[in-house]
């Protein structure tokens, strides 16, 4: 049987561990005057990349191994972020502008008299953490169960996942949602008693994100190397064939989709304290598609590649938007075209094909020959 | 899953109980085109049956109905005398013990030959079971035994995509064996095979029959003859003739259908 | 005022107005009281010259010749006789008729009545409506006079309504008269009518109260139906916009099966083409401006169509059979196009003008219909029918259908499939460009224009059934109407969210849309 940690996994986990050790040392131990010192804002920036990498791993679990191109994973990310944001809002307590001990500022501003019921419990970290998993998980479970049971596949599924995140974006923009409307949730003070602005907290949450990424990777990897993962790949390549073997693809897909959504939720929850705000813009359909390109760049169906792609693309974004703001969208657009046309297996996939074993590369998503079109979900006979 | 009382008329009851597969008066229409027009068929446990018929006779549509892929407009399809196949979906039917091999060999190309067999092995099909369950601890011997039967043992580690067309056909038959179904539906198993392979396949299928009932859809008359079983000839969605290969091929109606009038 | 009222009653009670005191003589009289009576008399007389005379009086241009008490008016062209309008001799002895505040007030009050007898039917109607609104009992006699002479049916109806309104508002109207007036108000059937009838809720007469209640109920029903119709109209209007946006996609996605995420950008390019055409016309040939949209249509078709052909040739053709990859690559193209337009034209909205025929509104049996929307609906239908014609009746359409149904067979028949692919994609993109011309009239022309339509367009096509143009039409109109019917109850945003959820659930039930093709091939 396939090993849980293969060569690329070992390289990935070692690099991640090294990164998670080096960053705190360079930030906390190396004195500020030194050329080697890492400013705290960079620590948060790197932490943001790692949160994105976790999102990419979660997306790769469903896209790379199950053929579900979700254009709505940003929604699960944002929901996890909102759950964390709600906890952080409750932690502000009476330190808000209006000084209301219970109601967050925006509620006082909007003349709320009492806390809406769905805010109950968010003053407890454990409850909020549970919601970070449950809310995206439940949505994905319902959505996936409905869609997969009725055999909505391929682009139809992609389009309705996009419609889902779009609908959520519109909903969260409403002030009546009781979640801050347009402005979202911000002005966070502390998390579990740590000041979210402090240097120590920034380093701590960076390391926490790195650990979460490692765990996310290991969970996804464990799933994909088990018999479950093999069936998932079988479903990806020939869904109707698995049915005639007696498998119910909807169960397998729903499970993968739900786990993936929870992982995305955790990524969102770790992202919010590092950027200090969550607003409905996170639901924008463009964000979800951008996450897809991270996975495509790194190589879908490799997990490691997804994480790598997220970091590379976002690093490029940081550099380019700083240097030439106009060029970024050109570059991103070109990236979509170039990767799909010339590097369909992504960086890691291409490396595996070149240097790895033929067998390992075989489990990558097939690269369909350029041939008769409209083959979309035409498996089976 | 008992069939509704109306599905089995009292008059048919005694006739039904003995048959492994009982199909009566199946009708299917696609956009006005009548693919099946009252097809009836009975198969005893352990029986092997060859189905022949020109293109468009409804052979594949019949299999689609039996395996739950296509819902007929009307008719009866009973398995083991008790299960109403028309009320079940594909996984449930597969779970009852009906395995199917497709016209175009459909194997899991990303997986190794051994993994293809592993996924087909009889056993719990639930997602949770596959995550932590026995399927992760299947002894290699079990898989190798099946691969030996279908002659693919030397290829066990290769991706299925690398197999030749004929080898894929064999792999799919191996997967059917792994499924250990009561009834095998085999659609054109020797298409693209050499003569030697065809003979081997016929032998293999004959060996399988007895333990399992087998329905073979095939155009190749030599192959059908080699199967040495009852033959049913379909034409325009209904049974045209049934009997031994010699009787059927001598039937003037069959000759007319194949050679034109 | 009481004085005026008394006078009017006096006038009204007189057997015939013509036999009352001559208002001309009164105006030429000495005292203010007499002049005031003259004003009222003239206003109520229905004399077509009354308006001119009273406005001259208020401006101090009404003169009297002391010798024979003849009234004259000083106009820019000279002196005219007030009664006949014939030119008259200037005379230094002429004295202006004087007006004090009370006389002026009477003139103002009479102005409405004067218009009641104006030669212009529109003015008369306006005056009747003014009386209806003011419900001034003083206007009653003039109204009666005007009503007696009125020939125009619409104006007559307005006057009848106005009279009924005055009668119902006036204290002391007899029960029978009120009961007779209520149906006239009810027939009017709008919110004002309802207000008047509500005012009768405290009427001492039970019969009047009951009649008013019946009237209110009838009007409420009518208003509800009218409101629903208005919303249906708005819905059709929204539906036609959705249709315009989706119709190009119905070709590229529906017929060809290509997921073109840059479809919205084709619409955006069409809108920018309209902007450029208008700019060129403004600087080079301003006289052509009314034709700017008509000129933009072929230009937008060519620009968007050409870009479409380029995208097909350089990106999409390598990705046939890989819909998810096509989706990603075309999304990349959409980002590039957006940024390109942003770099060239800037991120802000560009002003696209509306020719005169696009602005304004008209009233259609109580429905308010704006010309702009009207034209967009007609335009979208024309585009739809044109496309249907191209696909069904032309050789190009035949080839397109052949290629999409069986590529290899079509190629074997000698059809150059790559050529057909490129042109079909160009057609779909060109039509999106045409949609951009229309949408430039109702939406902001900015680089993000296309983003707002892409998700809706896909949902319309999927909802209607991929590959089915009529399905797209029905889907667009259904979604538009349902959205607008739901809006008054739950608001625009929730209506939109509800619709999205509805479509998501609908696709679960019928993954192939409203009008799916059936058959063995499709089922696999």
How far apart (Å, rounded) are the C-alpha atoms in residues C229 and C222? 10
How far apart (Å, rounded) are the C-alpha atoms in residues C147 and C155? 9
Residues of C in contact with A254 (CB under 8 A): none
How many other CB atoms sit within 10 Å of the CB of residue A123?
16
Give me the residue label for tokens 């008047």. C196
CA within 13 Å, CB half, C139: 32
Residues of A in contact with B136 (CB under 8 A): 1, 226-227
Q: Measured between alpha carbons, how far is residue C314 from residues C138, C330, C337, C341 in Å? A: 80, 11, 14, 20
Close Cβ partners of A77 (under 8 Å, ≥ 6 residues apart):
A55, A136, A264, A265, A267, A268, A271, A282, A287, A291
Cα four-point dihedral sign B22, B27, B30, B33: positive
- For chains A and B, what is the number of CB pairs under 8 angstroms? 107
Chain C, nearest residue to A177 by Cα: C494
On whether any CB of chain C is under 8 Å from the CB of B141, the answer is no
How far apart (Å, rounded) are the C-alpha atoms in residues B247 and B245? 6
Chain C, nearest residue to A144 by Cα: C508
Residues of C in contact with A300 (CB under 8 A): none
In sequence order, which ranges of C82-174 are alpha helices (DSSP H)?
A: 101-116, 121-134, 140-149, 153-169
Close Cβ partners of A114 (under 8 Å, ≥ 6 residues apart):
A102, A103
pLDDT score at A256: 96
On whether any CB of chain A is under 8 Å from the CB of B182, the answer is no
CA dihedral B23, B28, B34, B36 (to 10 degrees): -20
DSSP A42-80: HHHHHHHHHHHHHHHHHHHHHHHHH----S-HHHHHHHH
- Among A74, A78, A85, residue whose Cα is nearest residue A185: A85
The pair phi, psi for residue C72, each rounded to 5°, is -135, 160
Characterise B228 by phi-psi region: left (phi > 0), alpha (psi -120 to 50), beta (else).
left
| Residues paired with B234 in a beta bridge | B239
Q: Do B70 and C523 touch (CB under 8 A)?
A: yes
Domain C226-517: top CATH class: mainly alpha
Give me the residue label for tokens 């034409």. B235
Chain B, nearest residue to C522 by Cα: B30
Domain A7-362 has CATH 1.10.3470: yes
Q: Do A150 and C508 touch (CB under 8 A)?
A: yes
Close Cβ partners of C459 (under 8 Å, ≥ 6 residues apart):
A159, A163, C479, C500, C503
Close Cβ partners of B207 (under 8 Å, ≥ 6 residues apart):
none
In sequence order, which ranges of chain A are alpha helices (DSSP H)?
A: 7-24, 40-66, 73-92, 105-109, 125-149, 154-173, 199-225, 227-237, 239-244, 249-275, 285-298, 304-323, 325-342, 346-355, 358-362
How far apart (Å, rounded) are the C-alpha atoms in residues C53 and C72? 9
The number of helices, as runs of H, and strands, as runs of E, in chain B is: 11, 10
Chain C, nearest residue to A342 by Cα: C318
Chain A, nearest residue to B67 by Cα: A244
**How far away is chain C from the Cα of A327, in angstroms, using its nearest Cα?**
8
How far apart (Å, rounded) are the C-alpha atoms in residues C97 and A191? 88
Q: Do A381 and B104 touch (CB under 8 A)?
A: yes
Give me the residue label for tokens 């790598």. A308
Q: Do A246 and B179 touch (CB under 8 A)?
A: yes
Q: Do C324 and A154 touch (CB under 8 A)?
A: yes
CA angle in degrees (0–180, nearest 5) for C204-C208-C209: 75
Which residues of chain C fall below pLDDT 50? 6-18, 518-524
| Subunits in contact with chain C (3 or more CB pairs closer than 8 Å) | A, B
Give me the residue label for tokens 């972020």. A81
Give me the residue label for tokens 């790949």. A233
Q: Is A357 helix (H, G, I), strand (E, B) or coil?
A: coil
Q: Where are the domains of chain C?
A: 226-517
On whether any CB of chain A is under 8 Å from the CB of B187, the answer is yes
How far apart (Å, rounded) are the C-alpha atoms in residues C38 and C26? 5
Chain B, nearest residue to C521 by Cα: B30
In sequence order, which ranges of C285-370 are alpha helices (DSSP H)?
A: 292-314, 323-345
Please tell me which of the candidates A330, A372, A380 has its beta carbon nearest to residue C407.
A372
Q: CB-based burial of residue B54 (10 Å sphere; 0-12 exposed, 13-18 middle, 19+ buried)?
A: middle
Which residues of chain A fall below pLDDT 50? 1, 368-381
pLDDT score at A120: 93
Token pair for residue A57?
Answer: 């791993």
Q: Is B37 helix (H, G, I), strand (E, B) or coil?
A: strand
Residues of B in contact with C523 (CB under 8 A): 69-70
- Among B181, B214, B234, residue whose Cα is nearest residue B43: B214
How far apart (Å, rounded) are the C-alpha atoms in residues C412 and C414? 5
pLDDT score at B9: 43
Token pair for residue B39?
Answer: 């097809």
Residues of A in contact with B158 (CB under 8 A): 359
On whether any CB of chain A is under 8 Å from the CB of B90, the answer is yes
| Subunits in contact with chain B (3 or more CB pairs closer than 8 Å) | A, C
Q: Do A372 and C408 touch (CB under 8 A)?
A: yes
State pLDDT tens for residues A363-379.
777 754 433 333 333 33
| Subunits in contact with chain A (3 or more CB pairs closer than 8 Å) | B, C
Q: Do B131 and A248 touch (CB under 8 A)?
A: no
pLDDT score at C4: 52
Token pair for residue A145?
Answer: 């169960």
Q: Do A359 and B159 touch (CB under 8 A)?
A: yes
State pLDDT tens for residues B1-49.
444 444 444 444 444 457 889 888 899 988 778 888 888 888 988 889 9
Q: Measured between alpha carbons, how far is residue B70 from residues B35, B61, B73, B100, C520 in Å? A: 11, 7, 9, 14, 8
> How far is Cα of residue A70 from the mean position of the Cα atoms in its chain?
11
Residues of A in contact with C324 (CB under 8 A): 69, 154-155, 158
Please tell me which of the candidates A171, A293, A374 has its beta carbon nearest to residue C497.
A171
Q: What is the pTM of this model?
A: 0.82
On whether any CB of chain B is under 8 Å from the CB of C522, the answer is no
Tell me C31's DSSP state: S
Q: Do B161 and A366 touch (CB under 8 A)?
A: yes
How far apart (Å, rounded) are the C-alpha atoms in residues C307 and C178? 70
Please tell me which of the candidates A164, A292, A372 has its beta carbon nearest to residue C321.
A372
On whether any CB of chain B is under 8 Å from the CB of C518, the answer is yes
Q: Do A246 and B94 touch (CB under 8 A)?
A: yes
Q: Where are the domains of chain A?
A: 7-362
**How far away is chain A from the Cα of C310, in angstroms, using its nearest Cα?**
14
How far apart (Å, rounded) are the C-alpha atoms in residues C241 and C239? 5
Please tell me which of the candidates A237, A244, A381 has its beta carbon nearest to residue B94.
A244
Selected residues 195-254 of chain A with any CB under 8 Å from a CB in chain B: 223, 226-228, 230-231, 233-234, 236-238, 240-248, 251-252
The percent of chain B in helix, strand and coil, each rounded to the nearest 5, is: 45, 25, 35
Q: Measured between alpha carbons, how far is residue A194 from residues A49, A81, A197, A200, C483 in Å? A: 22, 18, 9, 8, 48
Q: Do A1 and B136 touch (CB under 8 A)?
A: yes
Tell me A345's DSSP state: T
Residues of A in contact with B103 (CB under 8 A): 381
Residues of B in contact with A366 (CB under 8 A): 109-110, 161
Specify whether the CB–CB gap between C268 and C449 falls below 8 A: yes
Chain A, nearest residue to C521 by Cα: A378
pLDDT score at C130: 79
Q: CB-based burial of residue B27 (10 Å sphere; 0-12 exposed, 13-18 middle, 19+ buried)?
A: middle
Hey, of C520, C521, C522, which one would you mutate to test binding to chain B, going by the most B CBs within 10 A of its CB?
C520
Give me the residue label for tokens 């005057």. A33
Q: Do A163 and C318 touch (CB under 8 A)?
A: no
**How far away is chain A from the Cα of B249, in angstroms, using its nearest Cα?**
29
pLDDT score at A10: 93
pLDDT score at A371: 35
Specify whether the CB–CB gap between C350 and C449 falls below 8 A: no
């Amino acid at each position: 049987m396939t090993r849980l940690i293969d060569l690329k996994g070992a390289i990935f986990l070692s690099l991640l561990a090294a990164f998670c050790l080096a960053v705190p040392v360079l930030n906390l131990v190396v004195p500020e005057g030194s050329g080697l010192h890492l400013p705290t804002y960079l620590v948060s920036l790197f932490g943001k990349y790692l949160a994105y990498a976790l999102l990419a791993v979660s997306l790769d679990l469903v896209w790379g191994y199950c053929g579900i191109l979700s254009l709505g994973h940003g929604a699960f990310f944002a929901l996890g972020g909102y759950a964390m944001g709600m906890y952080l809002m409750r932690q502000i307590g009476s330190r808000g502008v209006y000084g209301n001990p219970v109601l967050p500022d925006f509620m006082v501003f909007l003349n709320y008299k009492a806390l809406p019921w769905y805010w109950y419990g968010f003053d407890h970290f454990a409850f909020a953490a549970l919601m970070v998993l449950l809310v995206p998980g439940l949505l994905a479970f319902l959505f996936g169960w409905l869609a997969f049971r009725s055999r909505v596949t391929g682009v139809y599924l992609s389009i309705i996942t996009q419609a889902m995140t779009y609908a959520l974006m519109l909903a969260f923009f409403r002030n009546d949602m009781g979640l801050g409307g347009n402005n979202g949730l911000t002005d966070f003070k502390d998390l579990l008693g740590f000041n979210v602005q402090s240097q120590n907290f920034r380093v701590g949450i960076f390391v926490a994100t790195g650990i979460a990424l490692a765990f996310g990777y290991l969970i996804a990897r464990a799933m994909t190397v088990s018999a479950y993962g093999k069936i998932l790949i079988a479903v990806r390549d020939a869904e109707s064939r698995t049915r005639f073997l007696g498998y119910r693809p909807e169960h397998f897909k729903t499970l993968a989709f739900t786990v993936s959504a929870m992982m995305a939720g955790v990524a969102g929850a770790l992202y919010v304290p590092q950027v200090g705000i969550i607003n409905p813009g996170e639901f924008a359909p463009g964000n979800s598609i951008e996450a897809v390109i991270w996975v495509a760049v790194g190589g879908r169906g490799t997990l490691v590649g997804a994480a790598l792609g997220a970091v590379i693309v976002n690093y490029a974004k940081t550099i380019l938007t700083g240097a030439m703001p106009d060029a970024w969208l050109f570059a991103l657009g070109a990236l979509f075209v170039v990767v799909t046309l010339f590097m369909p297996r992504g960086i890691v996939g291409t490396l595996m094909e070149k240097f790895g074993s033929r067998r390992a590369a075989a489990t990558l998503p097939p690269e369909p020959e350029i041939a008769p079109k409209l083959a979309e979900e035409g498996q089976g006979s | 899953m008992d069939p509704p009382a109306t599905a089995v008329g009292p008059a048919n009851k005694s006739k039904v109980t003995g048959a492994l597969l009982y199909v009566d008066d199946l009708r299917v229409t696609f956009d006005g085109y009548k693919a099946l027009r009252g097809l009836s068929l009975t198969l005893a446990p352990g029986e092997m049956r060859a189905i022949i018929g020109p293109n468009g006779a409804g052979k594949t549509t019949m299999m689609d109905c039996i395996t739950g892929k296509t819902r007929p407009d009307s008719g009866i399809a009973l398995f083991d005398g008790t299960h109403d196949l028309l009320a079940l979906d594909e996984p449930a039917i597969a779970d009852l013990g009906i395995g199917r091999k497709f016209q175009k060999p459909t194997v899991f190309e990303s997986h190794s030959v051994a993994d293809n067999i592993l996924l087909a092995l009889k056993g719990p099909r639930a997602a949770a079971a596959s995550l932590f369950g026995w399927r992760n601890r299947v002894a290699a011997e079990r898989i190798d035994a099946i691969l030996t039967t279908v002659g693919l043992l030397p290829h066990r580690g290769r991706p299925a995509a690398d197999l030749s067309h004929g080898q894929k056909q064999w792999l799919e038959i191996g997967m059917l064996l792994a499924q250990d179904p009561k009834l095998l539906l085999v659609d054109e198993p020797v298409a693209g095979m050499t003569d030697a392979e065809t003979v081997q396949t016929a032998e293999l299928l004959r060996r399988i029959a007895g333990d399992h009932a087998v329905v073979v859809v095939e155009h190749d008359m030599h192959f059908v003859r080699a199967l040495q079983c009852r033959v049913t000839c379909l034409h325009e969605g209904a049974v045209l003739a049934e009997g031994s290969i010699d009787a059927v091929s001598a039937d003037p109606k069959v000759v007319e259908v194949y050679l034109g009038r | 005022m009481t004085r005026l009222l008394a006078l009017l009653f006096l006038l009204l009670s007189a057997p015939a107005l013509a036999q009352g005191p001559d208002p001309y003589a009164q105006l030429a009289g000495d005292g203010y009281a007499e002049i005031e009576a003259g004003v009222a008399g003239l206003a109520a007389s229905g004399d077509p010259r009354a308006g001119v005379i009273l406005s001259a009086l208020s401006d101090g241009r009404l003169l009297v010749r002391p010798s024979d008490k003849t009234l004259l008016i000083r106009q820019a062209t000279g002196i005219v006789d007030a009664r006949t309008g014939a030119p008259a001799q200037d005379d230094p002895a002429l004295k202006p008729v004087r007006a004090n505040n009370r006389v002026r007030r009477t003139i103002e009050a009479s102005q409405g009545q004067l218009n009641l007898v104006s030669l212009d039917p529109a003015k008369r109607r306006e005056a009747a409506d003014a009386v209806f609104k003011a419900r001034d009992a003083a206007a009653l006699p003039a109204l009666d006079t005007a009503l007696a002479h009125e020939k125009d049916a619409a104006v007559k109806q307005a006057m009848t309504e106005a009279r009924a309104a005055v009668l119902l508002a006036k204290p002391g109207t007899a029960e029978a008269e009120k009961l007779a007036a209520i149906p006239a108000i009810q027939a009017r059937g709008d919110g004002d009518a309802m207000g008047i009838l509500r005012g009768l809720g405290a009427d001492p007469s039970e019969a009047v109260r009951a009649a008013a209640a019946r009237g209110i109920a009838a009007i409420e029903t009518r208003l509800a139906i009218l409101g629903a119709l208005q919303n249906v109209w708005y819905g059709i209007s929204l539906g036609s916009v959705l249709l315009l946006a989706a119709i190009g996609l119905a070709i590229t996605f529906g017929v060809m099966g290509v997921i073109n995420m840059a479809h919205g950008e084709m619409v955006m390019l069409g809108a920018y083409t309209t902007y450029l055409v208008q700019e060129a016309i403004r600087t080079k040939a301003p006289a052509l401006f009314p034709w700017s949209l008509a000129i933009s249509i072929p230009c937008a078709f060519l620009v968007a169509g050409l870009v479409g052909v380029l995208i097909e040739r350089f990106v999409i053709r390598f990705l046939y059979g890989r819909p998810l990859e096509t989706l990603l690559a075309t999304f990349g193209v959409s980002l590039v196009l957006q940024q390109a337009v942003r770099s060239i034209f800037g991120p802000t909205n560009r002003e696209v003008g509306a020719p005169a025929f696009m602005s304004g509104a008209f009233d259609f049996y109580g429905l308010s219909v704006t010309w702009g929307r009207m034209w967009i609906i007609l335009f979208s239908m024309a585009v739809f029918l044109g496309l249907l014609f191209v696909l069904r009746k032309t050789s190009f359409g035949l080839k397109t259908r052949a290629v999409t149904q069986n590529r290899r067979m079509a190629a074997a028949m000698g059809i150059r499939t790559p050529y057909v692919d490129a042109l079909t994609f160009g057609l779909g993109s060109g039509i999106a460009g045409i949609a951009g011309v229309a949408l430039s009239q109702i939406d902001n022309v900015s680089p993000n224009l296309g983003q707002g339509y892409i998700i809706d367009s896909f949902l319309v096509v999927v909802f209607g059934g991929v590959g089915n143009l009529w399905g797209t039409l029905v889907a667009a109109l259904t979604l538009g109407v349902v959205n607008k019917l739901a809006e008054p109850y739950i608001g625009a945003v929730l209506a939109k969210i509800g619709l999205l959820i509805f479509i998501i659930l609908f696709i679960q039930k019928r993954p192939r849309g409203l009008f799916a093709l059936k058959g063995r091939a499709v089922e696999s």
